[in-house]
Structure 1
Amino acid sequence: MLGTEPSGATRTVIVTVDDDPAVSRAVARDLRRRYGEGHRIVRAESGESALEALREMRLRGDAVAVILADYRMPEMNGIEFLERAMDIFPGARRVLLTAYADTGAAIDAINVVDLDHYLLKPWDPPEEKLYPVVDALLDAWRSSDHRPVRETKVVGHRWSARSSGVREFLARNQVPYHWYASDEPEGQALLSAADEDGARLPVVITPDGKPLVEPTDQDLASSVGLATTPSARFYDLVVIGGGPAGLGSAVYGASEGLRTVLVERTATGGQAGQSSRIENYLGFPDGVSGGQLTDRAHRQATRFGAEILTACEVTGLEVCGSARTVHFADGSAVSAHTVILATGVSYRQLHAPGIAELTGRGVFYGSALTEAARCQEQDVYIVGGANSAGQAAVYLARGAKSVTILVRGDSLTASMSHYLIQQIAATPSIRVRTCTEVVGAEGEDHLERITLRDTANGTTETVDAGWLFVFIGAAPLTDWLDGTVLRDERGFVVAGPDLAPPGERPADWPLERPPYHLETSVPGVFVAGDARSESAKRVASAVGEGAMAVMLVHRYLERL
């Protein structure tokens, strides 16, 4: 039997365990009389039921300050119980209730379970024998920092690709979380509370105490309150992709009265959302982080009524008369009068021996800002010569011992903004190695070394490296459009005047009018941002195209 005094869930907990119901009630009564106003009193009549309650409280993030256990209990005595309870709440103060004949065992328990105190039965009067002991233990507990963590908790291996992916997903979706390494005491305590032995990682514990073992992104999204399924079956506008172009489309579409849903497979912001600092965006003279810009745009879109779905992977686009149907990986679909393709681009894979095996374990694509704190006083290498690489270098240089930018070309001027080149030149800890490429990576459970090749003379060298961030090229996320929407040889979506020579209509174009500027080879389907062929690949232009696409959507709808 387990009894819990009704009270607020935020109060510190005192737990008492005794197999004798009468004694259990008496201990709880005396504790409630003195501490009930400021503490929650939990009583249990067996060690197993008490351990189950402790696990639930640990997963919820409750704070247990004191545990009182009777020594003589069947199946599990008080010392055995406290030894297991230590694994769940190592900071809780421990008290053993004993008879006079058991004092020898109680003294031995001081060494076995680091016992804080033992009390002889009976404890009457409690004002003399019980309360002074509990008062002192509560004071000692308060002097240590055992405040509960009510955020999402992530327990994982330090060098696990999926653990890193979970942290990145939560961070990019603005979900507060606390990280626990699986090989450290706090992480082990949480795994024990979740009844996991660490063989399956990561384990994510939601704020309400539910453990998720090896969760998918969709599992995570659902557990933290992110919408993953549309609320309706038909909309005026479906925006595919949540980067600057997609968010711009959602803001303008919803603000102008269109029933708008934005579909994002990972997190809003796209590549721009991962940027540590954007300093050339209009209206932000002191710069703005990609996360801040994304968060503001996300809130702006929802304030106007746009629906935003996360962890939804789009697999196909179907033309059904005047409707445009978007299919998802889980077999569901949503339809609309119009669609804006704002899928953006992803970083190209670095094809070199060892890179794939060490991705997420020292090798990262993009800035992976959740890893930045672990780069303190470390030697960091960055592959790439565009703005995203430069922004990451300047950001990481704040704490890293050194940052080396590896560029295949002979300078940064062809692909990086002038202001970033100046910042890099003025940062002593940043070094730029031109005419250099990564041709190999090595390491046991994480990255330890990389092999570099000089593209000018062909010589190679191997250097120690624990961190490699890759920012190379731009691969459009448009394979799912194959056979439906015209793309160029690199996979970027062709639109507007690029669909046909001047003065000619595109082949198979079904309408009398020519395509609008951002309209694809399918009427009513538009493209904006980096996914468009020959786009500018800048945040400001992506936002502008998102707004322009909505204007063209209105023009299309007026002629339906």
Structure 2
Amino acid sequence: MAPSVSPTIAARRDQMFPILSDADIERMRRFGEARSYAAGEHIVTAGTISPGVILILSGKVDITQAGGLGRPEPIVTHGAGNFIGELAQLSNRPSLVNAEAVEPVEAIVIPSQRLRDLMVQEANLGERVMRALILRRVGLLESGASGPVVIGPPGNGDVLRLQGFLRRSGLPHRALDSDTDPCAKTLIERFHVDPHHLPIVLCPNGKLMHNPGENELARCVGLLRPIDADKVYDVAIVGAGPAGLAAAVYAASEGLSTIVLDCRAFGGQAGASARIENYLGFPTGITGMALMARAYNQAQKFGVEMVIPDEAKLLDDDGDGARYRLAIGDGESVRSRAVVIASGARYRRLDIANLAQFEGTSVHYWASPIEARLCQSQEVALVGAGNSAGQAAVYLASQVRKVTLLARRDSLDATMSRYLVERIKAQPNIEVLTQTEVVALEGHDGNLQRLRWRNRITGEETERAIHHLFLFIGADPNTDWLANCNVALDAKGFVRTGPDTTPGHGLMETSRGGVFAIGDVRCGSTKRVAAAVGEGAQVVAALHAYLARNGGAAAVNE
């Protein structure tokens, strides 16, 4: 491994780069085709689609990572019994590494679809291959030398936006300071970039982008691809949070052709949790992002098609073999026999006139290592009293000098799990101010300089020099896109489901037959990760029943 890879990853080298036995190789042969490569031939090039996972029978192959800057950095040399690939090959995305034959190579190429067949049909062998693919992606994420390069001022709102999107998408990347990094300055000069046009992004395929949107960047790096307008899916799932990903895993594993859309990134609000400790099966806790990344990879293992980031705009009727058509961005649409609404919720914002001025640079709705680096050794303020606020406060307390937690209620006990309340009390650098609300933000050029809050009982106001504010004040249902879709909503905008909405409909079916709602977006749901996952699993039985009644996919016996 390259020196930049963490010791933890280096310690798992045997799992990352297993040497398969002759018996394993024979079991893999039927999933691929034989190929030969000459010495010096480029088998895989970063930024282009790889032919699949490549099992080496003889010869040697150098694997290098390249982030668009300087000379490629060596990762490993594969020999007989090794295989080339990482998570990108599971879903037929562009490669993040280069592979060059050092000497003549005989190999078996297993394309993405057949790789997924291998995972299912050869469970034990597939488990070893899957573990290696995941660990290799982790190694690339930690080294930061592969993937796109973001160049701009480190505190710039658009730089943070792009970094946040790439991180939440599980894509390795590097961020370079345009003011101090010599490589960044060289690129700016080479491409004649005006400083006012920063940030820029250099994609692995060599394309340079000027301050792209998330959708545009996703298309450049291969995360987002054109949709087949002629294909009819069994189910289209809107939302890739815990509920949507659970529904996708269970639906695809039971034979339903499944497509998932999300307007931001996978994970939903659960991905923002610094540590989840009350989720069944994880006694030592797990970060929300790690939990959601596992679900995302699991869904792809079963062949779920991911369309992220892309936004559902309208749900309409369709014909010719499909019941529904979902209109999305760039004039595209998804056709399906059934739809699951799992669009979750969007973050609530403070009712302060100049809030938008500081969002993205000084006001944050996510507490990740990116934000923590911005606040290193500073005092920060955090507004909220739920579990997500508690998890963020504890995480930030380990990274900053002080966290001031502001809550409108008179206690945290009514809205926060007891273990988090106790942990907050035990942190010497967390100050909890109850019955308190933010009343003013002061600063300029998008940078917060002072924060003022008020005690709701006494009216006393306090002003403090704080440059970063974190907001975890709940969320509203993300249902604006359903306004003209004939799906019944309650007074607060949550999707109504069940027989009270339409006689004969099941618990999760909406007022439109074949359209279901699960997770936080559903009226009456329990707003917890475990509950959302449970509803995602439960809705698949209802999908099977509906499709069986309406001439779709056959029901699967439990």
CA-based RMSD of the aligned residues comes to: 2.3
Q: 2:207, 2:332 → 1: CA distance?
A: 27
Which residue of the partner structure matches residue 543 of structure 2? Answer: 553
Q: What does residue 486 of structure 1 align with?
A: 488
- 1:191 positional shift: 1.6
Rounded to whole Å, the distance in 2 between the matches of 1:360 and 1:60 is 26
**2:186 and 2:282 mapped to 1: Cα distance?**
45
Match for residue 181 of structure 1? 177
Residues 423-438 of structure 1 correspond to what in structure 2 (within 5 A)? 423-438=423-438
Contact 2:239 2:262 in 1 (8 A): yes
What is aligned with 2:259? 261
**Counterpart amino acid of 2:148?**
T
Within-5 A mapping of 1:91-110 = none
Distance 1:482 1:353, change over 3 A: closer
Relative to structure 1, the CA distance from residue 369 to residue 530 in structure 2 (aligned partners, 3 Å threshold; closer, same or farther) is farther
Residues 1:495 and 1:155: Cα distance change in structure 2 (over 3 Å): same
Q: Which runs of 5+ in 2 are unaligned?
A: 1-38, 43-65, 73-142, 551-558
Native 8 Å contact 1:61 1:150 kept in 2 = no
User: Are the structure 2 counterparts of residues 148 and 386 from structure 1 closer, same or farther at C-alpha, using a change threshold of 3 Å?
Assistant: closer
Following TM superposition, by how much is the alpha carbon of 1:8 offset from its aligned partner in structure 2, in angstroms?
8.8
Q: Which residue of 2 aligns with 1:334?
A: 334
1:252 maps to which residue?
Answer: 250
State how far apart, in whole Å, the 1-side matches of 2:261 and 2:240 are: 7
Match of 2:68 among 39, 47, 60: 60
Partner of 1:190: 187
Deviates more, 1:335-344 or 1:443-452: 443-452
CA distance in 1, matches of 2:477, 2:369: 23
Trace 1:526-541 onto structure 2 (pairs within 5 A).
526-541=516-531
Residues in 2 aligned to 1:401 and 1:350: alpha-carbon distance in whole angstroms: 24
What is the rounded CA distance, in whole Å, between the counterparts of 1:193 and 1:430 in structure 2? 47
Equivalent residue for 2:365? 365
Letter in 1 for 2:69: G
- 1:51-84 per-position Cα deviation (integer Å, ceiling 9, x unaligned): xxxxxxx9832239xxxxxxxxxxxxxxxxxxxx
Return the alpha-carbon distance in structure 2 between the equivalents of residues 148 and 438 of structure 1.
37
Task: Decide which moves more: 310-319 or 248-257.
Answer: 310-319
What is the aligned partner in structure 2 of residue 108 from structure 1? none
User: 2:273 matched to which residue of 1?
Assistant: 275
Shift in alpha-carbon separation, 1:234–1:379, aligned structure 2, 3 A: same
Aligned mate of 2:204, from 204, 207, 210? 207
The answer to whether the 8 Å contact 2:215/2:224 transfers is: no
The 3 A distance-change label for structure 1 pair 409 and 153 is: same
Aligned pair 1:516/2:506, yes or no? yes
Aligned to 1:153: 149
2:413 aligned residue: 413
Deviations 1:155-181 (A, max 9, x none): 123332222111110000011111112
Structure 1 residue runs without a partner (length 5+): 1-5, 10-57, 65-146, 500-505, 507-512
Partner of 1:473: 474
- SS across alignment from 2:444: coil
Alignment partner, residue 348 of structure 2: 348
* Kept in 1: contact 2:442–2:448 (CA 8 A): yes
Aligned equivalent of 1:305? 303
Shift of 1:233: 2.9
Q: Distance in 2 between matches of 1:492 and 1:150?
A: 41
CA pair 474-149 structure 1, distance change in 2 beyond 3 A: closer
* Partner deviation per Cα, 1:3-23 (whole Å, 9 max, x = no partner): xxx9799xxxxxxxxxxxxxx
Alpha-carbon displacement from aligned partner over 1:34-62 (angstroms, at most 9, x marks no partner): xxxxxxxxxxxxxxxxxxxxxxxx98322
Query: Is contact 2:318–2:335 with CA below 8 Å preserved after alignment?
Result: no
Q: Please tell me whether the aligned partners of residues 381 and 404 of structure 2 are also in contact (alpha carbons under 8 angstroms).
A: yes
User: Partners of 2:336 and 2:547 in 1: how far apart?
Assistant: 11
Change (3 A) 1:452 1:148: closer
Normalising by the residue count of structure 2, what TM-score does the alignment of the two structures yield? 0.71
Percent of residue pairs bearing the same amino acid type: 42
Instruction: Return the alpha-carbon distance in structure 2 between the equivalents of residues 385 and 498 of structure 1.
Output: 33
Moved over 3 A (4+): 6-9, 147-151
Partner amino acid for 1:212?
Answer: M
* Letter of the structure 1 residue corresponding to residue 434 of structure 2: T
Q: Could you tell me whether the CA contact under 8 Å between 1:403 and 1:431 is conserved in 2?
A: yes
Measured after TM superposition, the shift of residue 460 of structure 1 is: 1.5
- The alignment partner of 1:403 has SS state of strand
Map of 2:111 onto structure 1? none
- Relative to structure 1, the CA distance from residue 491 to residue 150 in structure 2 (aligned partners, 3 Å threshold; closer, same or farther) is same
> Letter of the aligned partner of 2:488 in structure 1?
L
Rounded to whole Å, the distance in 2 between the matches of 1:544 and 1:264 is: 20
Larger Rg: 1
Number of residue pairs aligned between Structure 1 and Structure 2:
416
Q: Which residue of 2 aligns with 1:381?
A: 381
Letter in 2 for 1:520: T
Q: How many Å apart are 1:431 and its aligned residue?
A: 1.1
Which shows bigger deviation, 369-378 or 279-288? 369-378
Q: 2:315 is matched with which residue?
A: 317
Q: Which moved more, 1:518-527 or 1:217-226?
A: 217-226
Letter in 2 for 1:271: Q
Cα displacement (A) at 1:498: 4.4
1:182 Cα shift?
2.2
Distance 1:148 1:473, change over 3 A: closer
| Cα distance in 1, alignment partners of residues 393 and 506 from structure 2 | 40
- Give SS of 2:149's match: strand
- State the 1:368 CA deviation: 4.5
Residue aligning to 2:219: 222
Whole-Å separation in 2 of the counterparts to 1:367 and 1:316: 32
- Work out the CA distance in 1 between the residues paired with 2:390 and 2:41: 50
**Is the Cα–Cα contact under 8 Å of residues 218 and 228 in structure 1 kept in the other structure?**
no
Evaluate the alpha carbon distance shift between residue 59 and residue 213 of structure 1 in structure 2; reply closer, same or farther with a 3 A threshold: farther
After superposition, the C-alpha distances for 1:450-477 in whole angstroms (9 at most, x for unaligned) are 1101111222221110110111121111
Q: C-alpha displacement at 1:435, in angstroms?
A: 0.7
Aligned letter for 1:269?
G
